[in-house]
Structure 1
Amino acid sequence: MNDPNSAEDCADYLERIVYLIDNELDEADCSVVRHHLEECAPCLQKYDLERTVKALVARSCSESAPNSLRDRVLVQLRQVQIEITER
């Protein structure tokens, strides 16, 4: 009899976890994945980690860099452009 939480089975669920987090699964698949997460602590931990990382990235992408940093980056980019064109 197959272990419902075998490494191969979990690998399939780990792929679907990303789709679950992004709301890209239909309700039937969501239910199946959620049921697996309720019974599989390692997958639940990976789900929590993925969700946390996605939330941090989303939050970071909405923050603006300070003007002083933006100005320094622009100066550096211009300097690199000048160096490239002089070669």
Structure 2
Amino acid sequence: MSCGKPHETDCSEVLAEVWLFLDHECDQGRRAKLEQHLDECSPCLEHYGLDEHLKTLLASKCGGEHAPDALKERLRAKIRKTVLERGGVPSPPPRN
């Protein structure tokens, strides 16, 4: 997706990383770039708003249980692989 306007961070990158942003799982520098884009781009902000509502709904219905770290890492690796296979956005470095 692209709103058609030039941005420092491309719309497709922002939307690919919106869940990392919502979950506070990206470093402060990346978070600032994503936040700046969301401030400038109403289509991405609207999409972010939908994802934010979905995350809130899921959190309220899933009882706040946390997934094991090993599962989270497997999911992140699979998402990175899928994004790269589809010619998507460069993935962030693995988290420690």
Q: Secondary structure at the match of 1:30?
A: helix
Q: CA separation in 1, counterparts of 2:46 and 2:5? A: 19
**Per-residue displacement from partner, 1:20-66 (whole Å, max 9, x unpaired)?**
00111100001000000010000000111101101101101129xxx
| Alignment match, 2:43 | 42
Q: CA separation in 2, counterparts of 1:41 and 1:28? A: 21
Q: Which structure features the higher share of helix residues? A: 1
Q: Which amino acid aligns with 2:30?
A: D
- TM-score, length-scaled by structure 1: 0.62
Unaligned 5+ segments in structure 1 are 64-87
Q: What percentage of residue pairs aligned between the two structures are identical? A: 34
Q: CA separation in 1, counterparts of 2:58 and 2:17? A: 20
1:4 counterpart = 2:24: no
Q: Which has the larger radius of gyration?
A: 1
Q: Secondary structure at the match of 1:23?
A: coil
In the alignment of these two chains, the number of paired residues is 59
Unaligned 5+ segments in structure 2 are 65-96
- Runs (4+) of structure 1 exceeding 4 A deviation are none
